[in-house]
């Protein structure tokens, strides 16, 4: 799931995602006071636009330049900076009051290097918000596609957090919005943690 993989996925269709912000983001971030936000794996930019409309200064990162170009074209001069970045080798720029990773496939590593880079982007007092699919909803056969077991689940990220963090939510819950057509995702795995 490198840059070529994601560029190819975005080139397959004129629009890969719904164009609406992710339900978990809307549910968990609506009450947060705006500040600086990092949208990890921003795709076509719906979450970044929603945050910017609520007063956030957003840095939106993705590995795919095709996705970033599409996202920037639909943003219309809002307070979003789009940056191509691969967390596997590069740290996000700056520190943020909100770091949001919605269904972001962060590859599991023995030393947790990429995960630690992501966690380090959360400012003191800031919020980490991670949403993923409940593995029970995913098909047992992957048919040559990526294996979900190769990526961090929100509860695994919670287990890596040290005493500098307060876990506010670590649960499986029904999806806020309908699953994409052709999928069976009816539950989300959600992590909300605050850096002390």
**CA dist., res. 170 & res. 172, Å (int):** 7
Neighbours of 141 (CB within 10 A): 7
> pLDDT tens, 118-154?
999 999 999 999 999 888 776 655 555 677 788 999 9
List, in order, residues 6 or more apart from 56 with CB less than 8 Å away. Answer: 34, 35, 36, 37, 79, 98
Confidence of residue 84 (pLDDT cuts 50, 70, 90): very high
Mean pLDDT for 87-105 is: 92
Q: How confident is the model over 12-21, as pLDDT tens digits? A: 877 756 668 9
* C-beta separation of 86 from 117 below 8 A: no
- Return the pLDDT at 177: 78
- β-pairing, 165-174 vs 122-133, is unpaired
Per-residue confidence (pLDDT) for residue 13, from 0 to 100: 73
The 8-class DSSP code of residue 150 comes to G
What residue has token string 């945050």? 51
Question: Across-strand partners of 130?
Answer: 101, 191
Delineate the domains of the chain, giving CATH numbers in brackets: 3-195 (3.40.50.150)
Q: Return the pLDDT at 9.
A: 72
Output the average pLDDT for the chain: 88
pLDDT for 136 equals 79
Q: Can you tell me the mean pLDDT for 50-63?
A: 95
pTM: predicted TM-score of the whole model, two decimal places: 0.89
């Amino acid at each position: 799931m490198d840059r070529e993989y994601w560029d190819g996925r975005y080139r397959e269709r004129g629009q890969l995602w719904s164009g609406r912000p992710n339900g978990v983001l809307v549910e968990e971030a609506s009450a947060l006071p705006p500040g600086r936000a990092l949208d990890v794996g921003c795709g076509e930019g719906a979450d970044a636009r929603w945050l910017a409309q609520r007063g956030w200064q957003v840095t939106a990162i993705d590995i795919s330049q095709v996705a970033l170009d599409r996202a920037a074209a639909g943003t219309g001069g809002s307070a979003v900076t789009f940056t191509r970045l691969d967390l596997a080798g590069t740290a996000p720029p700056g520190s943020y009051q909100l770091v949001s990773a919605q269904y972001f496939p962060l590859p599991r590593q023995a030393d947790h290097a990429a995960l630690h880079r992501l966690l380090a982007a959360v400012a003191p007092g800031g919020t980490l918000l991670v949403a993923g699919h409940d593995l029970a909803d995913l098909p047992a056969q992957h048919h040559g596609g990526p294996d979900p077991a190769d990526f961090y689940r929100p509860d695994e990220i919670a287990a890596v957090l040290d005493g500098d963090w307060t876990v506010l939510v670590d649960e499986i819950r029904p999806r806020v919005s309908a699953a994409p057509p052709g999928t069976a995702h009816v539950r989300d795995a959600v992590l909300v943690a605050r850096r002390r």
